Each structure stands twice: as structure tokens, then as C-alpha cells.
Amino acid sequence: MALALADAPAPALRIGDLELSSPILVAPMAGITDVPFRRIAMEMGAGLVCTEMVAAEAVVRSVEASLRLLQFPDDTRPVAAQLVGSDPAVMAAAAQVCAERGAMAVDVNLGCPVRKVVGLGCGAALARDVAATARVLAAIVDAVDVPVTAKMRLGWDQGSINAPLLARSLADVGVGAVTVHGRTRCQGYAGWADWREIAGVRAAVDIPVFGSGDLRDPEQIAHHIESGHVDGVVIARGMLGNFWLVRQAAHRLATGENLPDLPFVERIELGRRHLEELIAHYGEARALRIGRKYVAWTIKGCDGASRLRAMVQDLDSRERLDAIYAEALAAGERPEGPYQPIFTSGEG
Ligand SMILES: Cc1cc2nc3c(=O)[nH]c(=O)nc-3n(C[C@H](O)[C@H](O)[C@H](O)COP(=O)(O)O)c2cc1C
């Protein structure tokens, strides 16, 4: 009997009819989760990747820059598109465009804390009004055949935590899963995500709940899932400069074994590979500009990183990139200090 239990395959995690190969998902991140980033994340074993948030208004007006964010090549699937907006009809029409272009799920941003967005009644501001949010999500569920999900914060501030109520209302209108970032809008990125509050959302609904906030260690990620706080996680800042975290977390969950950290030389190889993907996608000049932040994050843990970061600031050729990586390798890695998140702000 014990053997039969041990051999039984883990129950599949599903969002609607979309079956996920792993509960380790990649968070939407503005300016980050483009096609090259998502491709490498999928290679690392992510169960689902997501675009950055895209304004629904711009999608329905066919703004070229927004449509460019909605590209879904075969090797980056399964993939979700994230929309931000507040008008049910506009959101429904934009969701149809996403699905027509190949998105396998549509996610709605209910957590963006940025003034420009909340000032329009979108992101975290929309989530304050549970009934209005449910109307938006219901319109999208009616408009598309793919699963519809939502990503929220705990609430607007400590005095108005509404994530459990919001999640229940969204489940009632057919939303297939929710992600909860364990901070309030007013917290921004300060302090630590509250995983007890996230677990409270999971206890309140029958749909899968994914947790977000301060995930940077495979053991910690496995703990949240294995102890039932959440059905899965979405990784964000912890994987910047360290795609390998996705592989480590997915492997730890699938096998119970810990994969060692990637040796510095291999981390640099992965960083180089990411730059090549960016060049193939954007062309060399633009890719090298976009790629500067990734190079800086990749060499973060090496001796003399601050001097090398100055070289990265005007990275404009492959030769210079090779020189930076060669110097980083020659300098070698220094023992990691305490984890420092790369961004202390963001759009969700
Ligand atoms: C640079 C950056 C951009 C972000 N953009 C988005 C976004 O477009 N949509 C969204 O829902 N969340 C966005 N977020 C929030 C993340 O998805 C995540 O919920 C948050 O960073 C907490 O996770 P972490 O502590 O592991 O980084 C962004 C975060 C960062 C740092």
C-alpha cells in the first residue's frame, strides 16, 4: 500500500482546463518578462510564464508597442497575457485579442500600486471595489474560452485587507485561479510579504491560489507548497540574474532533492545565452541597451562588481560584453551576503 502511494503520480495542477507541469510559475514583471526572458524561464522548468501587464485600452486601439508585447512563440508556452484596465467591455475585447494571438490564459492585474495606474481606477485601485472587479472579470470570462486569472495584493492597506473576499467573488464568476502578492498597496515593496495572509486566501476558495512575495530559496518555496499555504508560487525578483532558481525549485518539488547553486562560470554562460536571445529578438543595438541590467545582475556576486557595473552602463558591443564577463570570471565570485532584492518597487 505504501509503495502504491509512493508511486502514485502527484495530482496535476490545473487552471481551468490548462494543466501545469509544475507549480513554479514566473511572475509578470514590467520591462522584464519579454519573449527571451520567458523562453529561458520555460527551459528552467516553469509551469507557466506571463507577459508584463499590458494596457487593455492600448490593445483595443491596436497600439503597436502594446501588441508587440503580445507575442507567444511555441517554445514559450504555456503562457498567459496580463491585462490592466477597469472597463468591462474594453477588458473583454482586449482579452479576445490576447487569446486570438495565442495566449493560453488571461490574467488581470489587480495589484499595481503605481500612481499613474491607480489614478485611473486600475490595478490595486480596482481591487478596492469587489463588485466592480467581479463585473470586469465576469465580462472577460464570458468573452474568451481560455482560463481567466487575477493577481492581487492583500488589500489597499492594513485596515482594508480584502483578498479572501475578492478571491471568493472572482471564483464565483468563473475565475480559474488567483495569485496573491502578500503585501498591501500602501506597503509598496516595504517589509516582508505576509504568507499567513496568503494562506488565508487559499483557505477561503476552491480554486488554485498562487503566492507571491520574497521567494528566493528553493527550500522556502517547497515549504510554502508542501505545507499547503498555496497550490503554487510565482517567482519575481529572486530570479533576476538567477534563472536557475526556477530549476532548483521545480526539481526540489518534483524529487525532494536539492540542486546545488549554479557555479559562477555557468551563471555567466546562462547570462550570455540570455543576451544572445535578446539580440535575436530585438537586434543588437537595442538588445545591448536592454541587456545592461541583466549583465549587472548576473555579475552581482563577483569581486569588483561595482567597478564592472560602471563598464556595463555603456555596454554597446559584444566585444565589451565579452570583456566584462572575462573580467568577472577572472575576479571570481565572493561569498554571498544577505539577500538584497534588486527592485524595491514594481507594478504589481
Ligand atoms: C520590476 C517589476 C515589475 C513588475 N511588474 C508587474 C506587472 O507587470 N504585473 C504584476 O502583476 N506584477 C508586477 N510586479 C510584481 C511581481 O509580479 C511580484 O508580485 C512582486 O515583485 C513580489 O514578488 P517578489 O518579492 O518575489 O519580487 C513587478 C515587480 C517588479 C519588481
Is residue 239 included in any domain, yes or no? yes
Does the annotation count 112 as an active-site position? yes
Q: Which residue has the cell 552602463?
A: 313
* pLDDT on residue 302: 84
The CATH number given to whatever domain includes residue 169 is 3.20.20.70
Strands 148-153 and 177-181: parallel
Residue 5 has pLDDT above 50, yes or no: no
Same domain, 280 and 249: no
Is residue 129 included in any domain, yes or no? yes
Q: For residue 151, which atom of ligand 1 is closest to its CA?
A: 11
- Say how many Å lie between the CA of residue 3 and the centre of ligand 1: 41
* pLDDT on residue 2: 40
Is residue 338 included in any domain, yes or no? no
Q: Which three cell numbers stand for residue 255?
A: 524529487
Is residue 348 included in any domain, yes or no? no
Same domain, 183 and 55: yes
Domain-terminating residue out of 227, 255, 283: 255
* pLDDT on residue 7: 44
d(CA 288, CA 257): 37
Same domain, 194 and 227: yes
With a pLDDT cut of 70, the percent of the chain lying above it is 96
The CATH number given to whatever domain includes residue 326 is 1.10.1200.80
Q: Is the CB of 107 under 6 A from ligand 1?
A: no
The length of the chain in residues reads 348
Q: For residue 215, which atom of ligand 1 is closest to its CA?
A: 26
**Contact assessment for residue 114 and residue 163, using Cβ atoms and an 8 Å cutoff:** no
Residue 1 has pLDDT above 60, yes or no: no
* pLDDT on residue 336: 73
Same domain, 123 and 224: yes
* pLDDT on residue 40: 98
**Contact assessment for residue 80 and residue 51, using Cβ atoms and an 8 Å cutoff:** yes
Q: Which residues pair with 106 in a beta bridge?
A: 81, 148
Q: Taking residues 188-204, what's their average pLDDT? A: 97
Is residue 337 included in any domain, yes or no? no
Same domain, 216 and 92: yes
d(CA 154, CA 193): 9
Residue 151 has pLDDT above 60, yes or no: yes
- CA torsion angle 224 226 231 232 (round to 10): 60
Residue 150 has pLDDT above 50, yes or no: yes
- Say how many Å lie between the CA of residue 324 and the centre of ligand 1: 28
Q: Taking residues 188-205, what's their average pLDDT? A: 97
**Contact assessment for residue 36 and residue 278, using Cβ atoms and an 8 Å cutoff:** yes
Same domain, 22 and 67: yes
User: Which residue's alpha carbon is at the smallest distance from atom 31 of ligand 1?
Assistant: 346
Domain-terminating residue out of 255, 290, 310: 255
Q: Taking residues 84-109, what's their average pLDDT? A: 98
Eight-state DSSP code of residue 260 = P
d(CA 278, CA 73): 14
Q: Taking residues 155-177, what's their average pLDDT? A: 98
Eight-state DSSP code of residue 125 = H
Residue 35 has pLDDT above 90, yes or no: yes
Catalytic residue among 112, 122, 186, 302: 112
Count of other CB atoms within 10 angstroms of residue 334: 12
Q: Is the CB of 236 under 6 A from ligand 1?
A: yes
Q: Domain span at residue 82?
A: 2-255
Is residue 339 included in any domain, yes or no? no
d(CA 27, CA 51): 9
Eight-state DSSP code of residue 234 = E
d(CA 287, CA 35): 12
* pLDDT on residue 281: 97
User: Which residue's alpha carbon is at the smallest distance from atom 12 of ligand 1?
Assistant: 348
Same domain, 300 and 183: no
- Say how many Å lie between the CA of residue 8 and the centre of ligand 1: 35
Q: Higher model confidence: residue 57 or residue 305?
A: 57
- Say how many Å lie between the CA of residue 7 and the centre of ligand 1: 37
The domain total for the chain is: 2
- Say how many Å lie between the CA of residue 327 and the centre of ligand 1: 31
Same domain, 275 and 306: yes
User: Which residue's alpha carbon is at the smallest distance from atom 21 of ligand 1?
Assistant: 236
Please give the mean pLDDT across all residues of the chain. 94
Q: Higher model confidence: residue 141 or residue 4?
A: 141
Same domain, 33 and 139: yes
- 98-122, pLDDT tens digit by residue? 999 999 999 999 999 999 999 999 9
Question: pLDDT grade, residue 11 (50/70/90)?
Answer: low
* pLDDT on residue 338: 67
- 302-324, pLDDT tens digit by residue? 888 888 888 899 899 999 999 99
Q: For residue 342, which atom of ligand 1 is closest to its CA?
A: 31
Residue 160 has pLDDT above 90, yes or no: yes
User: Which residue's alpha carbon is at the smallest distance from atom 2 of ligand 1?
Assistant: 346
Q: Taking residues 62-69, what's their average pLDDT? A: 98
Q: Is the CB of 53 under 6 A from ligand 1?
A: yes
Same domain, 251 and 294: no
Select from 14, 41, 9 the least CA-distant residue to 250: 41
Q: Which residues pair with 108 in a beta bridge?
A: 83, 150
Enter the pTM of the model: 0.95
Is residue 344 included in any domain, yes or no? no
Is residue 336 included in any domain, yes or no? no
Domain-terminating residue out of 207, 226, 255: 255
Residue 3 has pLDDT above 70, yes or no: no
Q: Is the CB of 214 under 6 A from ligand 1?
A: yes
What are the distances in angstroms from CA 44 to CA 37, 38, 40, 133? 11, 10, 6, 34
d(CA 162, CA 47): 28
Handedness of CA 213, 218, 219, 224 (dihedral sign): positive
Q: Taking residues 287-311, what's their average pLDDT? A: 90
Q: Is the CB of 292 under 6 A from ligand 1?
A: no
